[in-house]
Chain A
Amino acid sequence: MNAPEQAPARIDLGAEFRDAGIGEVLDALERDLVGLAPVKRRVREIAALLLVDRVRQRLGLATEHPSLHMSFTGNPGTGKTTVAMRMAEILHRLGYCRRGHVVAVTRDDLVGQYIGHTAPKTKEVLKRAMGGVLFIDEAYYLYRPENEKDYGQEAIEILLQVMENQRDDLVVILAGYAERMERFFESNPGMKSRIAHHVDFPDYSDTELGEIAQRMLAGWNYRFDEAARVAFADYIVLRRRQPHFANARSIRNALDRMRLRQALRLFESGATVDAEALTTLTEADVRASRHFQQAAA
Chain B
Amino acid sequence: MRITQGCFSFLPDLTDTQIAAQVNYCLEQGWAVALEFTDDPHPRNTYWNMWGLPMFDLRDPAGVMGELKACREANPETYVRINAFDSTKGWETVRMSFIVQRPTAEPGFRLVRQETQGRMLRYTMESYAVGRAPEGARYAP
Contact = CB atoms under 8 A, between A and B. Distances in A.
A99 B63 contact: no
A131 B57 CA distance: 13
Contacts of B64: 127
B62 A128 contact: no
Contacts of A126: 63
A128 B60 CA distance: 8
Given A98-B62, A127-B67, A132-B59, 11 more contacts: A99-B59, A99-B60, A127-B64, A128-B58, A128-B63, A130-B66, A131-B59, A131-B60, A131-B62, A132-B60, A166-B62
B63 A98 contact: no
Nearest to B70: A123
Interface string B31-59: 00000000000000000000010010111
Q: Chain A binding site: helix, strand, loop or mixed by DSSP?
A: loop
A169 interface: yes
Interface in A13-45: none
Interface string B49-89: 00010010111111110110000000000000000000000
Listed from nearest, the 4 A-B pairs whose CB atoms lie closest are A131-B60, A127-B63, A130-B62, A169-B62
A101 interface: yes
A256 to B, nearest CB: 31
Contacts of B60: 98-99, 130-132, 169
A291 to B, nearest CB: 42
A88 B141 CA distance: 47
Interface in A98-124: 98-99, 101, 120
A162 to B, nearest CB: 9
B31 to A, nearest CB: 15
Interface in A153-201: 166, 169-170
Contacts of A130: 58-63, 66
A161 to B, nearest CB: 11
Contacts of B62: 98, 127, 130-131, 166, 169-170
From A126, A131, A132, A166, name the one whose CB has the most chain B CB atoms within 10 angstroms. A131
A131 B55 CA distance: 15
B25 to A, nearest CB: 14
18 contacts: A98-B62, A99-B59, A101-B59, A126-B63, A127-B55, A127-B63, A127-B66, A128-B59, A128-B63, A130-B58, A130-B61, A130-B63, A131-B60, A131-B61, A132-B59, A132-B60, A166-B62, A169-B60
Nearest to B59: A99
A255 B55 CA distance: 41
Contacts of A127: 55, 58, 62-64, 66-67
A166 B52 CA distance: 21
